[in-house]
Chain A
Amino acid sequence: MSTNNLTVEQVDDSPMFHMEEEPHHAPGTLLGFWIYLMSDCLIFAILFATRAVLAPNYAGAPLPIEVFDIPLILVSTFCLLFSSITYGFAVLQMQMNKLDGTLLWLGVTWLLGATFIGIELYEFSHLIHVGASPQSSASWSSFFALVGTHGLHVFFGLVWMIVLIVQAKKYGLTVANQRRLFCLSMFWHFLDLIWIGVFSMVYLTGVV
């Protein structure tokens, strides 16, 4: 290599070619958000493990089979499942740059999520009323810790959704807003995924 002179010197007026911009890298937001979801997954894994270990320790409190209302859980499960698909419709509208459609489907998603939270709060108050309160036994403590943490996530997802609806209304579907909406869609689908674990492991297995 030493024999070759690699530096190009501009000796005359011939054009020089160079890149107009630095090579563009996609910002790692989506991957970073995915890593966050994975760490959140570990929080839920520990809560699931706690629930699995403590589930038989009722200490005289009501048994799940006596107090769980499975048809109601089916309704709230479908609320969350429908909200997943309506958020999917919002993403499809966003890809077509249709602001009104995006906002409409986000609104529908929000209502379904709020219904889910409403049903969950009703269920919690019912459970506490019949004596299955968090302080009654290790089993119910682990139940409220797991299901409550999931509900809290859904609640903050709803808050986030309001913020993004306002943002999208004010500034339109900018690249930044699309990225935010995409992150929330991952969050929302992830919460639905966790709920599959909750209704399978806590509710259905609890009453078999």
Chain B
Amino acid sequence: MSAHEEIGQHVEGAPHASMKEYMIGFSLSVILTVIPFWLVLGDVIDSRGMTIFLIIVFGIMQMFVHMVYFLHLNTKSEGGWVLISLAFTVMLVVIAIAGSIWIMYHLDLNMMPTMQM
């Protein structure tokens, strides 16, 4: 790095953020945060399974909002490598979480009755 770098230049490869983008992302995030908290605090739905399902759906939707509007992800950033590494990570995350729950659930079922707590 040279000692006197020009101020006013911009980082190459950095996505250009805009006020509009941030405000859309923020508004959507507020809505997608408030709904699941309201579902829980207001006891809106009787079915426990349905409430959990909705919480997870709203959570995943908000994660998408964050990635698109705050992290500025698109199919072209860094020649597509950002998206490919994200897709690979999502695959590993799903395998790790869903796989763990699946395996441990069946392990519990197969325990001998006397070993149940």
Contact = CB atoms under 8 A, between A and B. Distances in A.
Interface of A: 24, 26-28, 30-31, 34-35, 38, 41-42, 45-46, 48-50, 52-53, 57, 59, 70-71, 74, 77-78, 81, 84-85, 88-89, 91-92, 95, 97, 172-176, 178-179, 182, 186, 189-190, 192-193, 196-197, 199-201, 204-205, 207-208
Given A53-B101, A208-B55, A42 B96 contact: yes
Interface of B: 1, 5-14, 16-19, 22, 25-26, 29-30, 33, 36-37, 39-41, 48, 51-52, 55-56, 58-59, 62-63, 66-67, 70-71, 78, 81-82, 85-86, 88-89, 92-93, 96-97, 99-101, 104, 117
What is the interface of chain A mostly: helix, strand, loop, or mixed? helix
A30 B16 CA distance: 13
A186 B85 CA distance: 15
Given A24-B12, A175-B11, 12 more contacts: A34-B82, A41-B89, A46-B96, A48-B97, A59-B117, A71-B41, A88-B17, A92-B17, A193-B66, A197-B59, A200-B55, A205-B55
A78 B33 contact: yes
A89 B22 contact: yes
A81 B66 CA distance: 10
A200 B56 contact: yes
